Chains A and B, each alone.
Chain A
Amino acid sequence: MPTITIDGKQIEFKQGQTVIEVAYEAGVEIPHFCYHPKLSISGNCRVCLVEIEKMPKLAISCATLAGDGMVVHTNSAKTLEARNAVMEFILINHPLDCPICDEAGECKLQDYAYAHSRGESRFEEIKNRKEKRVQLGPRIKFDGDRCISCSRCIRFSDEIAKSNQLTFTNRGDKVTISTFPGESFDNPYSMNTVDICPVGALTNNDFRFKSRVWEMSFTDSICVGCARGCNTEIGVRNNEILRLTPRQNEEVNSFWMCDNGRLNTFKNVNAEDRIDGTFVRKEGQLQKVNWDEALEVAAKSLKEYKSGEIAFVGSAFATCEDNFVLAKLAKQLNIASVDFARHSVAGDQDDILIREDKTPNTAGAELVFTKTNGAKLEGIFRLIKEGKVKTLFVMEDDLGSINDEWEQALGMLDLLIVTATNSNKTTALADIVFPAASYAEKHGTFVNFQGRVQRIRPAVSLDEMDRALDGMNMSRWDKFGTKFDRWNQGHKYDAKPSWKILAQLSSHLGGKIKYEMAEEVFAEIANSVDAFKGLDYDEIGELGIQLKISEKVEK
């Protein structure tokens, strides 16, 4: 293997790698704006200049191929001088509007200016003004002043999103980004440009000015928008989700996620129609009761039916743990009819990230339910129509919205017990409604379409949780807030993860299903479901683990 020396470190590399890539892998940081590991090399920001021995001039590390025996200095006096000079050039026209810029706090220009520049400007001339608040696309605003023309967004639109919608216009210090005439930057992946923009030139319309980044806590999670299961980070302030951003996972989503997943998968968590507390139908109306009463009523009602008259419907929106405990409860009650609904949108798929299957855990639910051999969903539907199934337990799925027939069928039931996060057609028909924790409020695992098991973690606190005691990520506000601080009074919903509701229901029915943590449920899944054999909850970690079910894997 050829070796290169960077800052005195001997590093082996593969032929064809650039200096910055080798440095990156070895953990040596070289400042860069335009370089991005997933985009082509443009080499226009010049901030990654490094000194390479025996080369007459400094070279940009992003476009210089590593060669055997090369000796690179990333912090020599010459490099630093050059870097300072480059920073000074970039900052000539960059406005000092960090106070109003959303990028502040996660801005590379800010970081590098702090680390590598002079601290004050030597330019007395008036800064260039360009167009501000340009609506580049439906979801993105562009601020021309802040742009440092690194071209990352243009390259993203060309190479990753393959939509070729952005370009530079004008020359010299007038250069700016725009869409082609008459076009709008409406690509389904457009908002990734906000993430890769090294400054605050591109801003997220939805998140714009909502919160400073340092006020939020960030929790690793998984997007529930489709079966891809993009790795995400949930940004929470005052117990409310404000932002979803993708998290790098080369096996699943690389650096990206789609705009739909980014914008539309977290709004329901703090939505108006969120179910808060348990409800039981009394005199035709759903009325709020306490947990014990609801569980007691549910247990009593279920006991009135023979096991053949009951069917359970799990959910591809729920975690493996939820579905597993559902299956277990079904077994306890001798119920054979257990299945879940699939939610596919035919044709809504591309070869980047988006999948037809719009649920995060179809694969997981399938794996967990393999052992059941009663009626499948269609069969359950038929049995209801025939009046043979009189009782249905629906977990975290809106069967009533599948089609009108389903809604009708649900209406024919004697007893409908539902766990749900938000009000929907199913809960409207239900006799007992349990509030389920959303994906952002519980621990658990999802299995994506590749058969990769990935963990979700609570980012938003439920009524029964405590950020500190439950080891959730906390912002400074969370850490030091008291109940008297208005900024610490974000609503905490009175809900529980479905597996917990099911376990409690089981004990009300005289069963022995008892778990304290999602981790315990997973341990049992790992013991009893073949595909999960030998897995450890902690080992899944941040990036997930590929299950050994080869037939499902596709790239």
Chain B
Amino acid sequence: MTILETIIIALIKIVLIIVLMLLSVAYTVYFERKIAAWVQNRKGPNRVGWLGLLQPFADVFKLLLKEDIVPEKANKILHTLAPFIALFVSFATYAVITIGPAVEIFGYKINLVVADVNIGILYVLALTSLGVYGITFAGWSSGSKYSLLGGIRSSAQMISYEVSMGFSIAGVIMLSQSLSPMKIVDSQYGWMWNAVVQPIGFITFLVSAFAETNRLPFDLPEAEPELVGGYHTEYSSFKFAGFFLAEYANMIVASMMIVTLYLGGYQIPYIDKLGLNSTLLVFLQIGAFLLKVAFFMFFFIWVRWSLPRFRYDQLMDLGWKVMFPLSLLNLVWVALLIMIFGF
């Protein structure tokens, strides 16, 4: 493979990922609204297009056509920068997500990941930490008390839960002995999914993922009853769309991470034993990955429309007094597994 070919393949992957991601975000919003409606015995969007399927586009056009308002007291540069940081972080995370095994197309062996870096998980952790900046900047630069409170809450919350998330991941890494997502997926061969092997780690990671994505019941940064719109109170039009996009993109990333780290990624247990055609196998595996991700997306939305929001002190209590010790406990458990059972 020449360098040129590598670059072209990488570009194609990037474009594909971005397009697919934007589409999936759009339809995540659509399903969010639909599921909310179903939970509340309503119909949800059903006017724009068949079954309301064009609703996301209408939403996007509406957002883009709105006036872009920058408050007088805002720090203009940071105010503009903030949504791009948020957006960049969530987009960049996709680079290391493995959605399937390596495939051969037109004679090229292609990994179904934009960048198969051997420190992928570290990369994800680093980027999600960066995501705090987008929100904190947005909160601070708006020059509004609601935004500021939202931003502060957000950074405090993300830092708190990052701890337990990091320790949960540590358990996974100890087992797989690699930071590469592909290796991690491979290490969960058969039913040895991390969710089965280390259930406490799975739960702490899941909860932390909710907190990291600012989804209910942890959506304190944008708690409407108290903070109007939270950190994006003063945003409108395209910049608001940026945050909106980032939030849902984060949700997708989180789902993908959960699947990759704990549910065996694209693997279907023991499917290779059936001796299927390799192309079919690849498609089945990609399908399995997407299905798993879709389930978690649904789970995110489902939880949002079922649970009430935490109070701020409860959130902190949960983060430091419950999730953090639990993730440590999980580490001990994994260590024991390795020492006693020789995983």
Chain A directly contacts chain B within the complex, with at least one CB pair under 8 Å = no
| Interface set of B (CB-CB < 8 Å, partner A) | none
